[in-house]
């Protein structure tokens, strides 16, 4: 329950910040162009807070936090007094109206730059993208990718951490090959061509590099216990720090991953644990606990294994000065913008399945998880969603900013506005398309939630 409330709170904060900045972009440019703004609303529906400003604008927060709007004086929908006609939106030039419409998405891009600038100023704890294992018979195994090796670039794009590796391969979806440059143990740079002609993202939400057959380096994990949680099934059964798990119900295990899988597969079951304590084998009966995750029930013991520490040589902090952080934030924003456009194109061509579309539930989960990790991770998530919101709003669909810009472009060429009837029909078609996409995204969210 607390996780749900945390995710909901993080979602409301995320959406509130993004919507406020988006609508403020429209508001600010409208005022600069001499347009009278009647209402500035964060959210839709009935207002839960309202204040009339000295500038004549009604500022409000509404019940449904899934968007917002700026209502401007417009002779097409309002009765406008002759002395205020020059303040109406429709009285402005095509260029002024275009600037007002485009200001919302631009505000989202600027917000992403500022947020990422702050993130890099604070510093992002990161690990180098070192390949620790290669899956047999995988794409990576076919080219004999060495382990351990640090990934330097993907298709010429420098990669400092695993997030950039993931984004690099996501951008390569639909290509026949991907160029991977690595630095091996002898500090030699080597380049490999990976055959990704048959690689597509499907329903499974897994990291792209995992699907290609290589895994990040992980310190060695042992079957000896380094931690036993108080009042857990393990503590109640008498397990102690230093115990080494040998078997469950007589089945011997040598790897902690095997033990973990066996525990997760036995929710609320009573099993017999064979352990090694002070050189002697012991049999301990244990009743497993159970936990819910994404609609499934898993077994729970309440222990942590001993493991080697992560090598300091693989750790670093992405932290820069004021100017360099701004440059880095701008570069990251641009890369996210390019990737977003590429992914939309690949969605339209079928390279990426519509099952990968995410809706408000997935965004809420992402907001909650990133916020729980710390401020810098939440800032990174906020920037990503802000860029996506800006790009989506620029799509040439009626009801979106991009649709309005399309009509204004046609008006600029024809020197005549598109007829209201054509616009009305277009809005209905655009609204149906947007509703269909939202329905698919929400359905995907629910399927993942109860899968």
Give yes or no: residues 298 and 149 share one domain: no
pLDDT at position 43 over 90: no
Determine, yes or no, domain membership for 285: yes
Of 318, 345, 365, the one marking the end of a domain is 318
Of 292, 318, 344, the one marking the end of a domain is 318
Determine, yes or no, domain membership for 136: yes
pLDDT value of residue 205: 47
pLDDT value of residue 395: 87
Catalytic residue, from 23, 189, 290, 424: name it: 23
CA-only gyration radius of the chain, Å: 27
Q: What are phi and psi of 318, to 5 degrees?
A: -80, 90
420 is catalytic: no
Q: Could you give the CA distance from residue 323 to residue 139 in angstroms, rounded to a whole number?
A: 40
What tens digit of pLDDT does each residue of 370-413 get? 555 678 888 888 898 899 889 988 988 887 889 889 888 988 88
Burial of 197 (0-12, 13-18, 19+ CB in 10 A): exposed
- The average pLDDT across 338-358 equals 72
| Domains of the chain: total | 2
Q: 174 is in which domain, residue-wise?
A: 126-215+309-318
Determine, yes or no, domain membership for 200: yes
Quote the distance between the C-alpha of residue 237 and its chain's center: 40
Give yes or no: residues 201 and 313 share one domain: yes
Determine, yes or no, domain membership for 102: no
Give yes or no: residues 144 and 210 share one domain: yes
| Banded model confidence at residue 321, pLDDT cuts 50, 70, 90 | very high
Give yes or no: residues 195 and 258 share one domain: no
pTM more than 0.85: no
Q: Could you give the CA distance from residue 241 to residue 304 in angstroms, rounded to a whole number?
A: 9
Give yes or no: residues 235 and 270 share one domain: yes
Residues in the chain: 451
Give yes or no: residues 314 and 202 share one domain: yes
Give yes or no: residues 135 and 183 share one domain: yes
- The average pLDDT across 24-49 equals 91
Of 318, 345, 380, the one marking the end of a domain is 318
Give yes or no: residues 203 and 225 share one domain: no
Give yes or no: residues 206 and 230 share one domain: no
pLDDT at position 6 over 70: no
Give yes or no: residues 191 and 314 share one domain: yes
| CATH of residue 147 | 2.30.42.10
User: What does the DSSP 8-state code read for residue 85?
Assistant: G
Determine, yes or no, domain membership for 246: yes
Q: Where are the strands (E) in 57-211, listed by range?
A: 58-72, 124-127, 130-134, 149-154, 157-158, 177-183, 189-195
Closest listed residue to residue 319, CA positions, set 109, 115, 117, 127: 117
Determine, yes or no, domain membership for 11: no
| Banded model confidence at residue 342, pLDDT cuts 50, 70, 90 | confident
Determine, yes or no, domain membership for 23: no
Determine, yes or no, domain membership for 141: yes
Give yes or no: residues 172 and 241 share one domain: no
pLDDT value of residue 350: 67
Give yes or no: residues 172 and 229 share one domain: no
Closest listed residue to residue 242, CA positions, set 231, 227, 232: 227
């Amino acid at each position: 329950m607390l996780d749900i409330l945390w995710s909901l709170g993080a979602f409301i904060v995320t959406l509130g910040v993004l919507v406020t900045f988006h609508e403020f972009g429209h508001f600010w440019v409208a005022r600069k162009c001499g347009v009278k703004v009647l209402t500035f609303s964060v959210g839709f529906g009935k207002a839960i807070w309202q204040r009339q400003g000295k500038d004549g604008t009604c500022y409000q927060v509404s019940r449904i936090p899934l968007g917002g709007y700026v209502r401007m004086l417009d002779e097409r929908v309002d009765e406008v007094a002759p002395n205020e006609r020059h303040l109406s939106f429709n009285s402005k030039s095509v260029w002024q109206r275009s600037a007002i419409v485009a200001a919302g998405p631009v505000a989202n891009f600027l917000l992403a730059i500022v947020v990422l600038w702050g993130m890099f100023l604070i510093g992002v704890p990161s690990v180098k993208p070192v390949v620790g294992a290669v899956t047999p018979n995988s794409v990576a195994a076919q080219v004999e990718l060495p382990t351990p090796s640090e990934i330097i670039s993907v298709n010429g794009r420098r990669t400092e951490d695993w997030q950039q590796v993931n984004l690099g391969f996501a951008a390569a979806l639909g290509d026949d090959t991907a160029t991977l440059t690595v630095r091996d143990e002898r500090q030699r740079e080597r380049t490999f061509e990976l055959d990704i002609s048959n690689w597509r993202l499907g329903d499974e939400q897994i990291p792209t590099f995992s699907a290609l057959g290589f895994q990040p380096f992980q310190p060695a994990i042992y079957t000896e216990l380094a931690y036993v949680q108080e009042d857990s099934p393990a503590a109640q059964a008498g397990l102690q720090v230093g115990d080494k798990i040998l078997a469950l119900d007589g089945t011997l295990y040598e790897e902690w991953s095997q033990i973990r899988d066996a525990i997760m597969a036995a929710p609320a079951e009573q099993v017999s644990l064979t352990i090694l304590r002070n050189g002697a084998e012991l049999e301990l009966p244990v009743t497993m606990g159970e936990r819910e995750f994404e609609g499934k029930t898993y077994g729970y013991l309440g222990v942590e294994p001993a493991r080697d520490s992560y090598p300091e040589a693989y750790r670093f902090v992405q932290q820069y000065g004021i100017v360099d952080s701004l440059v880095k934030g701008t570069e990251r924003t641009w890369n996210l913008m390019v990737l977003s456009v590429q992914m939309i194109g690949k969605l339209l061509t079928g390279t990426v399945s519509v099952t990968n579309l995410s809706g408000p539930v997935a965004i809420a989960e992402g907001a909650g998880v990133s916020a729980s990790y710390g401020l810098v991770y939440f800032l990174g998530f906020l920037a990503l969603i802000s860029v996506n919101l800006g790009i989506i709003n620029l799509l040439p669909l009626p009801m979106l900013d991009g649709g309005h810009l399309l009509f204004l472009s046609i008006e600029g060429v024809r020197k005549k506005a598109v007829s209201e009837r054509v616009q009305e029909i277009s809005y209905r078609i655009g609204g149906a398309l947007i509703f269909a996409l939202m329905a698919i995204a929400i359905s995907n969210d629910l399927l993942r939630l109860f899968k």
